[in-house]
Every structure is written in structure tokens, then in C-alpha cells.
Structure 1
């Protein structure tokens, strides 16, 4: 535990950089990063060693590992060796430049910083009561509007009556829940005064995007309608189509966005078409590539282990006898006797769980983002194993609580935290001071965790209709709508993105009853041209062949892994020796640096593997 704490402080302090750092310190930082990320004697990256510790802890081989410190160190090592979100943004720009793609439309981090939160929608009984109140207030408003002021001229009164009728018609045309009850119930003079103070954003937050697939789909429909036949993937031939279609295609191409993933997928398709040249691909040996190569065999176990820990640390989970014990390094040998000791232990346990959730959510998001930038099928491989390990229902279960209480939780005692407990004198703690806690509005640790989990859920479900249907089947819409009560723009943005994915599957009545949520989606989420998310007419909403979608994706992933990471890249075309005697009797030339890693290999592949002797005897 002490060694992990020392390592954590070293990594956290060394990775912090400033423009005022002297050259020698920059060189030392770079060397330390190289040692962590790149093996010296063909050893594994340090992050992979920590992943192995997590897997051993969850399998029961090493239950004594202080898992909170391991996960925190793993998160910081990934931040240091791979890079954080700001570094990711610059790496993405560089990658697009290398592939000949135009730069990003906008800085997503800066856009989210400038966004303002939306007011939460109404729920349940409150919604019905608001509808009734809205109808009564509109009738009262009509009476107020129709009263004539004796001190005004007839011309002024006539003009105001016309304006009142127009406002009333607009109100009656909209859905009751789409109107703000405070605005509806006000007389016209007050309404005018308040409208002048209301903030209206200048345009939408995000520039619209169009995929190549969207342009192809639009032209397929247009050709079938006006010409009677289609041309497949041709997006340039517009012969026989009317002028408005030409203008539409021109606008769509102006907003066309080609991602790095699109280029990588096309390159994989080209490599598959030419199997004799599969070994000629040049792969950059960066930190992300080496980590994926080291993790590849055990990625399913690592993802299951991380989700097990996340489940055990979730506030909605109940303690079970067969679950892993993540509190081994927190619970004292003797249980508390006094009320004050019990309160301190309770706060410390909750804080311990919150830190674990924060570290697991952060490192999972970092892995997904870096693997997606390095190669799309690395990202898809990790994503698919997260989905197979029930990551989607787990995150929904995490949010199926009073999320406002969780984000406003005060499970920390500032006077006992480092460095206050060392620098300052320890004040006298009482039960009243523990109940009061800090005066912060949010617990930023929990807010950070919630945003990370929402981003993971977005990455797992984006453009995957089978996984979006999982959100619908698990009834995620009311759970996510409750999260909109948190008035924080970034959290609301990722919640609304998840709701936008589902609207086409939810039915017309749901959309009609949730107009305020639909308006918030329109205001805050990026728009995709030709995406009729608000109407549900998309052919992708049809519920068949979703299982085939996952199977097809898995085939692509397996081809990619076999091609790039198998010893023989053209293994499909090589003869296979199935004779046991000749295979066992083969002589293998070991590499020169084998003696550096053979002990590690024995420990991981032989000694740490449980042997079921009874099963072995039965087979023999």
C-alpha cells in the first residue's frame, strides 16, 4: 500500500507541467513517461501490470490488494502515458492532418464550456397538475387581455388586442407542457417586461454534420422517386433529378464530415480485398498501440473486473456475500463504538466508494477515446466486451437513484484530508460538524463520475441500433430524464444525446408528452441533416437483424486482430500441422531477451492459473 501511494504521488507530481519548467526537468519527465509506457527489455507496459492486479483481485487470487490505490494509480498512469482530453484533441487534429482531412469544425471542450444548462422538465403528477394550471391560467389571461384600459386611445387598444390574439393563438397551438407555467399565467405587460430580460442564444451551439451514408440514403430515395432506379454508392451523378435535389445535395456536401474512423474502416476493407499484401501495413508503435497489444488476450477479463468493481462501489448496489470486498483497506479491525466513530467510518466508506467510481469511470473513458483514435476496431473490441459484460444496464442502474442527492453528497471531511491534516492542527470533530460537511453546492467528484459514465454510455450506443434498443428495453428514458434535474450543462448535454437516440423508438405519444425535453434536445445537441429523430420515420428504427449487426461487427474485429497481431499475417492460407507428436517435438528458437520476462510469464500463465485436479483425473 505504501509503495502504491509513493508511486501515485510520483506520477501525479511529475506529470504536471508548466511553461516555466527548466529543460532538465522536461527531459526527466519525458524519460519517466517513456519508462512507464514503453517496455525496456520487452516487458509489459506499467499500466498493463496494474490491469493484471485488478483482474487478480476480482478473481479472488489477491483479495488483499488495496484496490482504490491501484485504480487511482492506473488512472494517473493512463493520463500520463496516453494523454488527457486536451492532448486527445490536439492528437485528433494531427491525425486528421496526416490523413488529409480538414480540421475539426470546432473545439468541443470550448463549446461545452460556453453552454448554459436548461431548466428540467416536469414529471408524473406534477405534469398533469401543471397542464390543468396552464389551462386555467390561459383562461384568466384571456380575460385580462380583453379588459380595456380607459386611459389608452382606441388605436393603441386595437393594436394591443391584435398582439394579444396572436400570442394566445401561439400558446394554444403548442403543447401545454412545452409552455413555462410562470410565463403563461402572467398578464401581457408583465410578459413583455420579462421577455426583454430573457437570454436568447445566438444560433445553435454545434455546427451540423452529415455522413457519407446520409447523402447516399438521400440520393437513393430521390432516384427511386423521380427516376425509378438507383445507382448504389454514387453521390456525384445527379442526372434526371430536379433542381431542388441538386441544391439539397450541394448543402449536404458542404456539411459533410469524414471521421478518422471512416478512413480506417475503408483501409481495412481494402486490405481484406488484397490478402496477399496483408503484411505490408505500417503500424506506429505508440503508447496506445503497445498497451492494446499487451492487453489483447485478457481484455474480456479486464473489462469484467472493472465492471465488477464499479458494481460493488455503486450506491444503488446491495451488499452480497458473493460480491468482492472493495473495503478491505478501509474497515478497521475493531468496529466503532461511539456515534462519532460510526459517523466517521460511514463518511469514509462512502468517500472510498466515490473515489473508486471516479477512477473506474475516468480510466474506462480514457481507454475508449484513445483506442478509438488509434484504430476504430480496437475501440470496438473493448466496447463490445463492455456491452457483453452488461455495462449498459449497470450504468442505468447507477443512475436509477436520487441523482441530485448523489451529486450533492458531502462525504468528505476537509480537516482530515491531505494536506490539511498534516499542515494544520486537527480541530475537534463533533457529530454536528460531520453532519454539516462542506459548503460546496456540488460534490465535484461525483459530478465528474456521472459525466464520465454518461459519456461511456454515449460511446457504446452511438450509431449502434441494437444497443440503442437496449436503452429502450431497460426503460432508460425516465431514468435519464430525472438526471436532467441537475442544472449542469455538460451533464445535461450527454443525457439529451442519449434521449435523442431513443426518440424514434419511443412512439408518437411519448414525444407528444415530452415536448420540453424535445425542445432541449433541439437547443443543445448537434444536429445531423436528414436525421428525423423527432418523427420516427427512419428505416433504421425497424427492429429486425439487430443481432446480425453485432455478429457482423465481431467478424470485422476478429479479422483485424488476426491480421495485425497474429505471428503469421496470412494464417488463413498457411498449412496447419495437426499431428500431436510433431507439434510437441518441434524446436523453438527463443528470443535473446527471453530471460527478462520468463518469470513474469510463468507467474501469469502457469502459477496464477487454478488447476482443477479432479477434472484432470476424470479426463485421463
Structure 2
């Protein structure tokens, strides 16, 4: 309060103090005050992030992503190794001027050097092959020419069997870190310790990334080579008869448990990502396979694709911060109250995102001489005309509502108990004794009910369900968790450091959306895991993430918030009505899901731990059955039905049987009459 007893001037001062404390806390926590990351700037002025979520970036950017800035000098090492090997073999180190036969001969001779026992000449040949895979950039004049030669050389390398040779080198390098002394030395690993592995992984990555994408100038032979390579990549390879993806996952495991800290994990993850994309396919292949499997099970094709619809959405304005709320309250107290008529719009994207800036500016404009005094009578306002029907914009919700069969069964059980007095277990068609509104409700629920492929999986045994849960996180984007650094391309490009709208990196947006998608997969319909989100206070973090104005990213954030709203309390829902409106607009509705009011019959806190333990028991039982040599349960022991292996199995005879062997032979064999012809005759 000031000297005049006025306390209104303290509100701006309070807001300044709060803003300064907020900025200090953000600076101490390493956060930026940029509007993209939750700063105090006006979020309404920030444009939408122009980011197209896809399986991968442009091919030239993905190739540049393989190399970091610290690997720049190694390009010259590759060129030097190429010149030394050519001098040793008596070949002129000019790739473009050589004939196709001489190029094949040189690649074959370099492949022979890969089998040398000495590491130095072996890795020198590997670097020379890497130089060839990079397009022999020392002889080109432009990036386009380098990309053209790189693609041509990769096809030639695959035809000469270089892929199999480098897979053997990869297994050899993995086995070389097996001893205890080498593991102790690898604890203090440096960049030089992973030089050989980085060369091998770079060649493998270049081959996979080049053959993964269809080229514009590919001929029929190259197309056949590319398709055969993708099919071969999905089969066990090398002497270990192991999938390439499993080998790379094993490298990730060894890196995580510190048994091989010198592994270049960034290159491993990038290669794993592209191997999965090449062997399993991307999002388009996934959508086609989903519709194919639905057709095989007698289900209609999926008409709504999440990624396709999310690309057509518009990003919502982020929720206001505490400082903005204080300022808004202050402005409301200063300006006079004014009420106007407003036509309520339909459920389009603009609901809940009203821009009050124009109204505030209008209220704060000073009166001019042309303004009429308020005493004079005002003419009646004209009657508004009929609004024009705009068919170009979608005025409805983006998703068709759904309902689970479990919810329909629960609805029928509760209504039967209420109106009839008993339940009919397993009966989903009989509606006798129920009033007509219940008939209509069941009809609506059944229309929006679709079992889907997950419903088919739920009818399988628990072990198969556990298998699906175990493989649920293995998406074609497994390598998206790689760090966001990038390096220069062999021809001197800048890599994929292009910024989205000038402030955001492609890789960071890609990783954040993937993490949100994985979190949704892990928590959907799992009450115990949703409670973990509530316990660890994920709602403020997710709400802060809504400041990123990207529709797809906001969609998956709102899905996670929708799961928690019933547990966050009435006060949270009351103070976050803008977030609740965004959830209503953008997230699919479940007809029986009372998410906005907190009336959840399945929310039983005492069952959360039991549910998670039962799920873990199913997964452990499946893993022990499939991957453990020691079978604990004899019922799960596989039965050998092969006659040859059963008769050839050694049998330990007891001493008593050996003493009375002749008696057993006389009673069981010689005394019994066996018609061998009838036994061996084929049954009709």
C-alpha cells in the first residue's frame, strides 16, 4: 500500500517480482526463456512450427547425420588410405576414369584385404572402401555429383559381396571386447578407441540408407538389387545366423551395462533405426499391413490414420502462464465491463482458442471527438444476415467416437441388475425387460464398437499377449532416440542442422514426438502406469510441452493429460479449462469414458500393484519359456516327436533291468505275437 492508501499499484510490482523469479529459476535450471520453451514472451505471436513428421528426413540430411564434427579430419584419412592401397596394388587412384571391370576387380581385391589377420592393413582397406561408398568425393565438383557416384558405388559394393564382409568385421570387433582386461581398458575409452568400429558402422549405414530409398534414376537391375537386399536384411545373416537388428540391439545392451563403453552408440542407433525401416517398412507399409490383417480377420479397413489426421490439425494456443494470468486479472479490474453478443461456433479448432488481444486493444483505445456521447439515443442495430455455409472447413470433431466391448458388457450388466434384477453372463444380444432408451443406447454403442486387431489379440492365450506386450515398443523408429548432433557431409555440406521456423531442430522434434508416442503405448488402459504419471507429477511438464505449437506433438501430450484428468482433482480441471477444451477438440472420444468428471469405476488404487505384478509375471513367464535353457515348469517343456531323435537319445538303464534283461525279452518280445505286416501296412 502506498502513502495514499492505494494498493492497486502493488499488483504490477508483484507481477514484475514473479516474472524476475521465474526467469532466474529458468536460468538456474538451464531452461531458455524462448517462447518455444516456455518463456515469458507472448505465445500468441509465435508462429506454428512447420515440421512434417515422417519416418526419416531427406536422404542427404540422413547421410550427414552419421558424422559428427569431431570426425571431420577422418575424411582425409579415408582418402589417404585409398591412395596408399591403390599404390600398393599398382592402380591409379582415379575412380571415375576407371572401367567397370577394373572397379569390380579393385573392390574384390580390397575385400580380400579385409580378411587379413593384421589389423592395420585390414582397417586401411576398410577405410578405402568407405571412401568409395562416400562417392569418391575427392574427384567430384558438386554435392549432386557426389550423391550420384555414392549411390552408383553402393550398388557395386553390394554386388561384390562387401556387405557380408563388413558384417563379419562387425562381429569380429564385438568379440574382441570379451576379455576382462579389455573391458577394464575400455572404461576410459576415447574417440580413438572406437575408430575401427566407426569405419565399419559407417560403411554399413551408407549401404542401408542408400538402398532403403528408391532412386529416381534406378534401372531395373538396381531395383532388383535393392528389393533383394531389403528381403535379405530381414533374414538371419553371417555365421552367427542372427538378425542384424538383434546384433545391434546386443551392442546397445552391452553399452548400457558398461561392458563396452567405447561402442559408438550414436552410429549403432542410427544403423538400427535404418535397418528396421528397411526390413520392416515405414508408416505407409504399416498402414497397408494393418488393413491386410484386418481384412484377413473379417474386419473393415481402418478409415482413420492417426498420423494423416494429425497432419491436418491446427496447433492450439498454449495455456497462459501465471504471469499472464496476473496481468489479465489486472486488466480486467482496470477496464469497464462490456458485454456483447457472440455467435457460438461449432466444434472446430478455434473453440477454446479465442484471441482476446483485439478486444483488449479495442477497450483500451482512448475516446476521440467523433465518439457520440453516451446520453444520445442509439439507432437500433441492423438484423444480422444469414451466415454463409462454408463447406471447406471441417466443423466437426476429427475422430469418430469409439467404445470397447468391455464397456458395453459393463453397461449391459449394470442395466440388467437395475431393471431386471440379475445378470446374463456372456449374453450381448438379449435386451428383454429393458426400457426402450436402453435399447437405443446399446444400438449406438454397438455401432461405434469395433473389436480391432488388439481385441483379437486379447482372445489369445496370456503367453501370446505377453509376447505382443514385449514387442510393443519395437517400432520402425527405434533409432529415433539418438542424440541430435550432426556433422558435415563428405562434400562439405552442413548436414541436417536446418532449423524449423528458425528455432527448432528436426531431430529434437522427431525424438520428442517418438517419446510421447512410446509413453502413450506404455500407459494406455494401464491404470497402474497412469497413476505413476500422476504420482511423479507429469501434468505440469506435459502442460509446459503444449507451448510447442505443433499439432501432432500437442495431440500426444493431450492424450497423456486425458488419462490423468480423472485423478488430478476438481480444482486442477477448473483452473485448466483451456487444456480441457483442447482435449475435447483434438482427442478421440470414448462414449463410456467419464474422463472429464473423475467418475471411474475401474480406478481402484488397491489393484494397481496387483495389475502391474500380474503383467510382469506374464512377461517373465514368456521370456523364461522362450529364452531360458532351464525350464522350471514341466508343462511348458517342449515335446520331441521326431522318431530319429527319440530312438537316438541315450537311455540310462538301471542295474536291476540289466540283470533281468533276458526275462523281460522273453516276456515282452518273444512271447507276444505281433503281426508286423499289419503294423507296417498303410491305413486307408
Shorter-chain TM range is: 0.5 to 0.7
Residue 439 of structure 2 aligns with which residue?
246
User: Alpha-carbon deviation of 1:557?
Assistant: 3.2
How do residues 534-549 of structure 1 correspond to structure 2 at under 5 angstroms? 534-549=596-611
* Whole-angstrom distance in 1 between the partners of 2:428 and 2:441: 12
* Whole-angstrom distance in 1 between the partners of 2:444 and 2:343: 37
Over residues 331-367 of structure 1, what are the superposed CA-to-partner deviations in whole Å (9 max), with x where a residue is unaligned? Answer: xxxxxxxxxxxxxxxxxxxxxxxxxxxxxxxxxxxxx
Residue 546 of structure 2 aligns with which residue?
484
Cα distance 1:206–1:183, how it changes in 2: closer, same or farther (>3 A)? Answer: farther
Q: Is the 8 A contact 1:134 1:184 kept in 2?
A: no
Residue 51 of structure 1 aligns with which residue?
249
Q: Tell me if 1:449 matches 2:511.
A: yes
Q: Please, which of 77, 84, 87 is the counterpart of residue 275 of structure 2?
A: 77
Cα distance 1:225–1:95, how it changes in 2: closer, same or farther (>3 A)? Answer: same
Q: Tell me if 1:17 matches 2:214.
A: yes
Cα distance 1:201–1:588, how it changes in 2: closer, same or farther (>3 A)? Answer: farther
User: Alpha-carbon deviation of 1:475?
Assistant: 0.6
Q: Please, which of 391, 397, 400 is the counterpart of residue 207 of structure 1?
A: 400
Q: Is the 8 A contact 1:141 1:187 kept in 2?
A: no
User: Alpha-carbon deviation of 1:10?
Assistant: 0.5
Cα distance 1:20–1:211, how it changes in 2: closer, same or farther (>3 A)? Answer: farther
Q: Report the secondary structure of 2:423's partner residue.
A: coil
Cα distance 1:69–1:508, how it changes in 2: closer, same or farther (>3 A)? Answer: same
Residue 417 of structure 1 aligns with which residue?
488
* Whole-angstrom distance in 1 between the partners of 2:343 and 2:199: 70
Q: Tell me if 1:256 matches 2:256.
A: no
* Whole-angstrom distance in 1 between the partners of 2:614 and 2:228: 42
Q: Report the secondary structure of 1:140's partner residue.
A: coil
Q: Tell me if 1:4 matches 2:201.
A: yes
| Structure 2 unpaired stretches of 5+ | 1-197, 346-351, 364-380, 475-480, 639-647, 652-684
Over residues 557-606 of structure 1, what are the superposed CA-to-partner deviations in whole Å (9 max), with x where a residue is unaligned? Answer: 34555666789999633899xxxxxxxxx9799xxxxxxxxxxxxxxxxx
Residue 589 of structure 2 aligns with which residue?
527
Cα distance 1:268–1:423, how it changes in 2: closer, same or farther (>3 A)? Answer: closer
Q: Is the 8 A contact 2:420 2:434 kept in 1?
A: yes
Residue 612 of structure 2 aligns with which residue?
550
How do residues 505-524 of structure 1 correspond to structure 2 at under 5 angstroms? 505-524=567-586
Q: Please, which of 336, 353, 357 is the counterpart of residue 182 of structure 1?
A: 357
Cα distance 1:562–1:237, how it changes in 2: closer, same or farther (>3 A)? Answer: farther
Q: Please, which of 225, 231, 251 is the counterpart of residue 418 of structure 2?
A: 225
Over residues 168-218 of structure 1, what are the superposed CA-to-partner deviations in whole Å (9 max), with x where a residue is unaligned? Answer: 999xxxxxx9865336647799xx99x999997420111111110111111
Q: Please, which of 226, 231, 235 is the counterpart of residue 29 of structure 1?
A: 226
Provide the alpha-carbon RMSD of the alignment. 4.1
User: Alpha-carbon deviation of 1:132?
Assistant: 4.7
- The structure having more radius of gyration, on CA atoms, is 2
* Whole-angstrom distance in 2 between the partners of 1:231 and 1:50: 52
Over residues 237-268 of structure 1, what are the superposed CA-to-partner deviations in whole Å (9 max), with x where a residue is unaligned? Answer: 11111101100100111110212122122122
Q: Is the 8 A contact 1:472 1:505 kept in 2?
A: yes
Cα distance 1:96–1:119, how it changes in 2: closer, same or farther (>3 A)? Answer: same
Q: Tell me if 1:378 matches 2:467.
A: yes
* Whole-angstrom distance in 2 between the partners of 1:251 and 1:90: 29
Q: Report the secondary structure of 1:497's partner residue.
A: helix
Cα distance 1:475–1:18, how it changes in 2: closer, same or farther (>3 A)? Answer: same
Q: Is the 8 A contact 2:316 2:353 kept in 1?
A: no
Cα distance 1:564–1:215, how it changes in 2: closer, same or farther (>3 A)? Answer: farther
TM-score, reference length from structure 2: 0.54
* Whole-angstrom distance in 1 between the partners of 2:344 and 2:236: 71
Residue 504 of structure 1 aligns with which residue?
566
* Whole-angstrom distance in 1 between the partners of 2:256 and 2:650: 35
Q: Is the 8 A contact 1:178 1:515 kept in 2?
A: no
Range with bigger deviation, 17-26 or 563-572 = 563-572
* Whole-angstrom distance in 1 between the partners of 2:577 and 2:389: 24
* Whole-angstrom distance in 1 between the partners of 2:636 and 2:571: 58
Q: Is the 8 A contact 1:208 1:527 kept in 2?
A: yes
* Whole-angstrom distance in 2 between the partners of 1:569 and 1:97: 38
Q: Report the secondary structure of 2:502's partner residue.
A: coil
Q: Is the 8 A contact 1:461 1:468 kept in 2?
A: yes
Cα distance 1:19–1:570, how it changes in 2: closer, same or farther (>3 A)? Answer: farther
Cα distance 1:528–1:187, how it changes in 2: closer, same or farther (>3 A)? Answer: same
User: Alpha-carbon deviation of 1:382?
Assistant: 5.3
Range with bigger deviation, 230-239 or 87-96 = 230-239
Cα distance 1:574–1:543, how it changes in 2: closer, same or farther (>3 A)? Answer: closer
Over residues 498-526 of structure 1, what are the superposed CA-to-partner deviations in whole Å (9 max), with x where a residue is unaligned? Answer: 00000000111111111000000000001
Q: Is the 8 A contact 1:261 1:376 kept in 2?
A: no
Q: Is the 8 A contact 1:141 1:185 kept in 2?
A: no
* Whole-angstrom distance in 1 between the partners of 2:636 and 2:306: 47
Cα distance 1:98–1:562, how it changes in 2: closer, same or farther (>3 A)? Answer: farther
Q: Tell me if 1:467 matches 2:556.
A: no
* Whole-angstrom distance in 1 between the partners of 2:320 and 2:505: 25
Q: Is the 8 A contact 2:499 2:506 kept in 1?
A: no
Range with bigger deviation, 127-136 or 2-11 = 127-136
Over residues 302-342 of structure 1, what are the superposed CA-to-partner deviations in whole Å (9 max), with x where a residue is unaligned? Answer: xxxxxxxxxxxxxxxxxxxxxxxxxxxxxxxxxxxxxxxxx
Q: Is the 8 A contact 2:631 2:637 kept in 1?
A: no
Q: Is the 8 A contact 2:402 2:591 kept in 1?
A: yes
Residue 316 of structure 2 aligns with which residue?
118
Q: Is the 8 A contact 1:504 1:541 kept in 2?
A: no
* Whole-angstrom distance in 1 between the partners of 2:631 and 2:430: 39
User: Alpha-carbon deviation of 1:554?
Assistant: 2.7
Give the structure with the larger helix fraction: 1
* Whole-angstrom distance in 1 between the partners of 2:297 and 2:631: 25
Over residues 407-429 of structure 1, what are the superposed CA-to-partner deviations in whole Å (9 max), with x where a residue is unaligned? Answer: xx9x76xxx621551699xxxxx
Cα distance 1:22–1:121, how it changes in 2: closer, same or farther (>3 A)? Answer: same
Q: Is the 8 A contact 1:480 1:495 kept in 2?
A: yes
Q: Is the 8 A contact 1:141 1:186 kept in 2?
A: no
User: Alpha-carbon deviation of 1:86?
Assistant: 1.7
Residue 363 of structure 1 aligns with which residue?
none
Q: Report the secondary structure of 2:593's partner residue.
A: coil
* Whole-angstrom distance in 1 between the partners of 2:636 and 2:536: 46
Q: Report the secondary structure of 1:539's partner residue.
A: coil
Residue 43 of structure 2 aligns with which residue?
none
* Whole-angstrom distance in 2 between the partners of 1:216 and 1:260: 19
* Whole-angstrom distance in 2 between the partners of 1:19 and 1:237: 60
